[in-house]
Structure 1
Amino acid sequence: MAGLSDRSVEDGARGRQFRKALTAAVAYYSEDKTMEAIARELDVSRSTVSRLLSHARDVGLVEIKVARPELRATAIERRLQRAYGVEATVVTMPEGTGPEERHARTAAYAAEHLREVVGHDTVLAVAWGTMVNAISYQLKPKAVTNCKLVQLNGIGHGSGIGVHYAHAMMNRYAEAFRANVQQFPAPIFFDSAHLKRLSMAESIFAHVRQLGEKAGVMLFSIGTVSTGVPSSPHLYGSFLTDHDFAQLEEDGAVGDIGTTFFDENGEYRAIRINDRSTGPDLAKMKHIAHRICVVSGTHKTDAVNGALRGGHISELIIDEVTAQELFAAKGL
């Protein structure tokens, strides 16, 4: 009798696991719920949900099929839209594609998309950086009239790489769209918040700011901050000091848009270095119809998540590998 009772208990436990695995599988694969949402519904941990999904696959409740790349990308785009309310384009990648090739393919796709978006009388605001520079090399000429190109962030000083880098990049965009260029002849960071306030009152700086805020298209990528240290090109020309790095870490900065830094929630007003930065006021950019962010690089997931949560992006162009890493890192 004891043996029969033990078997009954064991069978009952297997049955409960089967039912939970089935519930988890339906919620995850058919209803597109996140693991965190399923864990709350089942009152279990996220790791338990992961084990239930593995069990569902092992016992044949779930059959994994390899979808065509374009269908796979479409599914990821839908998940991004649901998670962040953003219009997303996922650039598919052949299996085994390395970081440099992913970066180049994403830049090429973004160049084609930008060509479709920019038209007559467009004001295009550009935040210079590595990805935006890569896009400039991929642009094909488009005959439009009265296009204006405005630079969103400063370019450093004469001894820094930013001056020549930004000039050359802006010229490539100008040539592609026959645009009149309005560069931003300011340092990336002023020495003090007071000096920035005085400088921004000057007519030339005020004009650039106002033109950028009137843009119909804004093109940018996301910079990262790791333990207070931002990614290049902010380090070129010794623009920041150890004190600045410590301050960025204290303020919880995870990334930047055109050298305007933000935290994990996309909040930028409490980041003290922004008082000296010539980056855009992100709140004033939110009315721009096309805020196109182009991203490639799995190290950028925290920064991309923050920018999306802050509502700073309306259109996201991201490579497939980085998008999948974003889901994995944030439990989506």
Structure 2
Amino acid sequence: MAPLAKDSSSTRAMTKVAHLYYRRGLVQTEIAEEMGLSQAGVSRLLTAAGEHGIARTIVIPPSGFHNDLEQAVEETFGLREVHIVETTAGDDVVPALARALVPVLQLAPIDGRTIGLTSWSRALQAAVDVLPDLPRANAGHIVELLGDVGRPSLQHRAALTTERFARATGGDPVFLRAPGVVSTAAMRAALLDGDPHARRALAAMDHLDLALVGIGEVRAAAPLSPGENFFTDAQFAGARAQGAVGEIGLRFLDAYGEPVASDLGELVLGMELDQLRTAGRRIAVAGGRRKHAAVLAAVRGHWIDVLVTDETTARHLVASGVDTGSIAS
């Protein structure tokens, strides 16, 4: 038996392909379509899985992989892929989630694609920080999915993340250098009227092949502060009073994954939920106990089809799906 590959992205890919082939009974063409790979690539991964002892008619996942739990979440909510990381109680889950997202991005089909990026998400920023340049990658446009939020230093950090991701993927960055949240709908209209670059970014969101998003609570979470190109505490409280339990790109969802009707949507310069829905692939990274309700809302509403999360959140999703059933939007 060949020694197990040290590259975690290769090991995860071998395990995932073996799981789909031996445990779920998918043929190689189906696996290739689901994972965005060529059939030859699937064949090579299956061969490597056998050589490394991951697959021997049955799948033997290496320590730290949770294929049965991943499959349970996928089947409960109709997700294309779920990737689960182990974390220690009390730890910040962001670094582990970021590391797990990297191989997902490395395997995603990106050539010529229009990719939306929530560049102010902490997990996505951390993933881009450690993402190596993808050899021979030739992405299309890399579109920021929300305008500037937070203090200037955070806005600068988001712009650098977009620029770094575009360089790693060979894409053309499309920046949205306008406030992410404004005070009135009239101000939003005036900003768009005078800023062709912002209009271009918003229009590009109609044609997303891949969307990379975070999932948030209905509150200002550090390092963001209420009211700094962001919703105030009172506005967040109003959204919660209307039933909001989570948000994607500051678009609020209720516990069933349904959009929350709110005038606050008219104050946001960023992707609409309808634009997210039509994206070819929608990858979210989120975890931690405080986000359980928000992540559950996102998968219940089928707003995403690939999820990177932690084990505790995944078990909460399965338990909630068994208790109440997954509710389609």
TM over 0.5: yes
The answer for the alignment partner of 2:77 in structure 1 is 84
Contact 1:262 1:271 in 2 (8 A): no
Pair 1:83–1:278, CA change in 2 (3 A)? same
**Number of residue-to-residue matches in the alignment:** 260
The answer for the alignment partner of 1:120 in structure 2 is 111
SS of the residue aligned with 2:138?
A: coil
Q: TM-score, normalised by structure 1?
A: 0.70
Please state if 1:213 is matched with 2:213: no
Give the Cα–Cα distance (whole angstroms) in 2 for the partners of residues 218 and 253 of structure 1. Answer: 22
For 1:84, the aligned partner's letter is F
For 2:203, the aligned partner's letter is Q
CA RMSD across the alignment: 2.6
The answer for the alignment partner of 1:105 in structure 2 is 96
The offset of 1:233, in angstroms, is 4.8
The answer for the alignment partner of 1:276 in structure 2 is 267
The answer for the alignment partner of 1:261 in structure 2 is 252
The answer for the alignment partner of 2:144 in structure 1 is 151
Q: Alignment partner for residue 196 of structure 2, among 187, 194, 203?
A: 203
The offset of 1:267, in angstroms, is 2.4
Contact 1:188 1:259 in 2 (8 A): no
The offset of 1:156, in angstroms, is 3.2
Contact 2:284 2:306 in 1 (8 A): yes
Which deviations, in whole Å up to 9, do the C-alpha atoms of 1:101-151 show, x marking residues without a partner? x43232112111112214321211001211111111121111223532110
Contact 1:298 1:326 in 2 (8 A): no
The answer for the alignment partner of 1:231 in structure 2 is 221
The offset of 1:71, in angstroms, is 9.7
For 2:73, the aligned partner's letter is L
The offset of 1:288, in angstroms, is 1.3
The answer for the alignment partner of 2:173 in structure 1 is 181
The offset of 1:97, in angstroms, is 6.4
Q: TM-score, normalised by structure 2?
A: 0.71
SS of the residue aligned with 1:186?
A: coil
Q: Which has the larger radius of gyration?
A: 1
The answer for the alignment partner of 2:127 in structure 1 is 135
Give the Cα–Cα distance (whole angstroms) in 2 for the partners of residues 141 and 193 of structure 1. Answer: 40
Give the Cα–Cα distance (whole angstroms) in 2 for the partners of residues 136 and 304 of structure 1. Answer: 22
Identical-pair percentage: 23
Pair 1:88–1:207, CA change in 2 (3 A)? same
Which deviations, in whole Å up to 9, do the C-alpha atoms of 1:2-26 show, x marking residues without a partner? xxxxxxxxxxxxxxxxxxxxxxxxx
Contact 1:218 1:290 in 2 (8 A): yes
For 2:141, the aligned partner's letter is K
The answer for the alignment partner of 2:301 in structure 1 is 310
Pair 1:91–1:276, CA change in 2 (3 A)? same
SS of the residue aligned with 1:108?
A: helix
SS of the residue aligned with 2:244?
A: coil
The offset of 1:219, in angstroms, is 0.4
Please state if 1:170 is matched with 2:170: no
Contact 1:260 1:278 in 2 (8 A): no
SS of the residue aligned with 1:191?
A: coil
The answer for the alignment partner of 1:320 in structure 2 is 311
Pair 1:68–1:214, CA change in 2 (3 A)? closer
For 1:275, the aligned partner's letter is E
Contact 2:65 2:84 in 1 (8 A): no
Structure 1 gaps of 5+ residues are 1-66
For 1:296, the aligned partner's letter is G
SS of the residue aligned with 2:71?
A: helix
Give the Cα–Cα distance (whole angstroms) in 2 for the partners of residues 76 and 218 of structure 1. Answer: 24
Give the Cα–Cα distance (whole angstroms) in 2 for the partners of residues 75 and 156 of structure 1. Answer: 38
Structure 2 gaps of 5+ residues are 1-59, 324-329
Pair 1:68–1:314, CA change in 2 (3 A)? closer
Give the Cα–Cα distance (whole angstroms) in 2 for the partners of residues 77 and 144 of structure 1. Answer: 28
The offset of 1:276, in angstroms, is 0.6
The answer for the alignment partner of 2:215 in structure 1 is 222
SS of the residue aligned with 1:224?
A: coil
The offset of 1:161, in angstroms, is 3.5
